[in-house]
Amino acid sequence: MSTLTYLDSVILGVVEGLTEFLPVSSTGHLTITEKLMGFKLDDPGLTAYTAIIQLGAIVATFIYFWRDIVRLVAAWVAGLRSAEARTHHDYQLAWAVIVGSIPVGIIGFVLKDVISGALRSLWVVAIALVLWSVVMWLAESRHAMLERRGEQRGEGSVTLMDGLMIGLLQCMALVPGVSRSGATISAGLFRGLDRLTATRLSFFMAIPALTAAGLFEAAHEKSHLKLLGVGQMGLGIIVSFAVAYASIAWLLRFVSSNRITAFVWYRVPLGIVLAVVLAVGALSAT
């Protein structure tokens, strides 16, 4: 792959930062953008770059939630030392995040070649955008039912099983077009968590998942990354960080009073338009 221009880096950084935490699929949008920019989707350097610029979004998450992160780490360490501390809900929440982060790491490693190969197709993105929207709709329907019954749970009641189930569903986000936040928030709603708690938990689980993915790609594809340009990579990460930080703040405000099905009205038309464009041959899938 040829060296990225600085303009390329800015565009991809904006797309990554804007879509990483919104339930619209950052990988899907990056794949579409990269194709429109004329890149080959199966280029290993491009795949690695996509993972690398996620680090900017992760830094944004660290900074935005640093008080929560410190609180959870302190509670987890205290729980390892004291039986009394293990009864605190922050200890349970920390373990939920840890356990929930394991499945996507295992599946991502085992299916790495499939994820960076066969799944890097715009047909996959188009289909996933539409089909996962159905899951998001069903999740909000369950949320509405539990809300009417007064049976929703907050952050203080998150269990280890919640973390495991959300983590398992997070694995679906390895399919471009699904959306990691869309998968984890939907899973939280299915588990009976209120929308804000499900969204915050989605952010917490993003930290280990995306950090591991970015560092693994950096180490595994370092020879390809050198061809892209160090300055361009740095710029992409910085832009991704700035835009992602703003996206986090906006999404938390949005979900406090709006359903995630609002994004379905964007996802489904995008998926349909993409499928039509592919079907008529105006754009190749890879």
Residues in the chain: 286
Residue 269 pLDDT exceeds 90? yes
Instruction: Tell me which residue of 247, 170, 244, 155 sits closest to 212, measured CA to CA.
Output: 170
Taking only the tens place, the pLDDT of each residue in 54-83 is 889 889 999 999 999 999 999 999 999 988
pTM: 0.89
pLDDT in tens, 217-229: 667 666 666 666 7
CA 174 to chain centre: 9
The domain ranges of the chain are 6-279
Averaged over 178-192, what is the pLDDT?
94
Tell me which DSSP letter residue 191 carries. T
Q: What is the DSSP letter of 153?
A: B
